[in-house]
Amino acid sequence: GVRWGLIGASTIARQFMINAIRAQADGEVAAVMSSSSERAQAYARENGIPAAVSTLDALLGSDVDAVYISTTNELHREQGLAAIKAGKHVLCEKPLALTSADARSMVAAAKKAGIVFGTNHHLRNAGAHRAMREAIAAGRIGRPIAARVFHSVYLPENLQGWRIARPEAGGGVVLDITVHDADTLRFVLGDDPVEISAFTQSAGMAGGGLEDGAMCIWRFKSGVIAQSHEGFTTKFAGTGFEVHGSEGSLIATNVMTQKPVGSVLLRTASGEEELTFDREDLYTRSLRQFHAAIRGEGQPSATGEDGIWSLASAEAALQSSKAGKAVTIDPQL
Ligand code: NDP
């Protein structure tokens, strides 16, 4: 079996990841670490976790095989490096760190230590996105020309904390959501971005100089151009993902989400077709691939390199917004 230690008593672990671990035949949540021992104990009690600890050393010294890091973003780097040093497999939340250079140091350390390292980009695991990737790879829209990503949401009240108030914790919509759009575009298109231009805004929710909305224009290696919209402040926008090609268009609705929902329409000269796809829980699938990788079968669904790519993209978007010009995306891989 795989004994997991949770680093961070977080909402995402409570809502999705604990279930995803327990959905594996060989997955067990052995311990949780919070910076506060009261919070660790309460969280362990509420989620049926046998051990609660309040230091990283205690967690890494305990009998766990793998850790899931879902603390605030500024902590991922040091916690990730310590876990790697302790020989634990690491599934780390996005963004992997606050800078792509730091993310590279984590991925390099993991490689050297020979442990499995993954980034929790859940959207690659969505049936909708896999169906789009397969349709494109099979040539069903001809040559991809342009993509449009609609990923502006309303940040739920219970999450209106560090994301909109603490720049030092890696807040802001770009590190939160643009990273997902970068990864999903790469995955669906099977292509890498080379350049980005971004406008960001503070539309009334985020403080401390943080952005709560962004619009980005991307250029990919193949010549595909894309636009993406990320936001925390739009209650009624809905989400979507479109790829338009020389022979057809893929139009997915309600797919930039944590749940296995939404629809994908393929429109070509022969008419419209609703693509069918599996509705497996995204995080459960991610964990399954991670467990397989531990057994030496394949890679996590999103690797450390994928996490470097998404962070390098977000970093370039922030630089672009500040500088008022397009910026090259270079993950230095
Ligand atoms: P939370 O705000 O729920 O948790 C982050 C940290 O905040 C926790 O580690 C905890 O610290 C602290 N915290 C939580 N509740 C309290 C409280 N009541 N009082 C004081 N501190 C508290 O964050 P999220 O779960 O939303 O996000 C965590 C990470 O996961 C981020 O890196 C985020 O980017 C990522 N994420 C990824 C998603 C995905 O689908 N891939 C979705 C959502 C988030 P401590 O552990 O010390 O108790």
Q: Cα separation of 274 and 252, whole Å?
A: 10
Which tens digit of pLDDT belongs to each residue from 244-297? 999 999 999 999 999 999 999 999 999 999 999 999 999 999 999 999 999 999
Lining ligand 1 with CB less than 6 A are: 8-12, 34-36, 39, 70-73, 93-94, 120, 122, 159, 161, 176, 258
Best substitution site from 43, 67, 70, 174 to test ligand 1's pocket, by max atoms within 8 Å of Cβ? 70
Predicted complex ipTM: 0.98
pTM, two decimal places: 0.98
| Cα(120) to centroid(ligand 1), Å | 14
Start-end of H helices in the chain: 11-12, 18-22, 37-47, 56-61, 76-85, 100-113, 127-137, 162-165, 173, 179-189, 282-294, 304-323
| ω into 260 cis (within 30 of 0) | no
- pLDDT tens for the chain, 333 residues long, are 999 999 999 999 999 999 999 999 999 999 999 999 999 999 999 999 999 999 999 999 999 999 999 999 999 999 999 999 999 999 999 999 999 999 999 999 999 999 999 999 999 999 999 999 999 999 999 999 999 999 999 999 999 999 999 999 999 999 999 999 999 999 999 999 999 999 999 999 999 999 999 999 999 999 999 999 999 999 999 999 999 999 999 999 999 999 999 999 999 999 999 999 999 999 999 999 999 999 999 999 999 999 999 999 999 999 999 999 999 999 999
Q: Token match 């995080």: residue?
A: 283
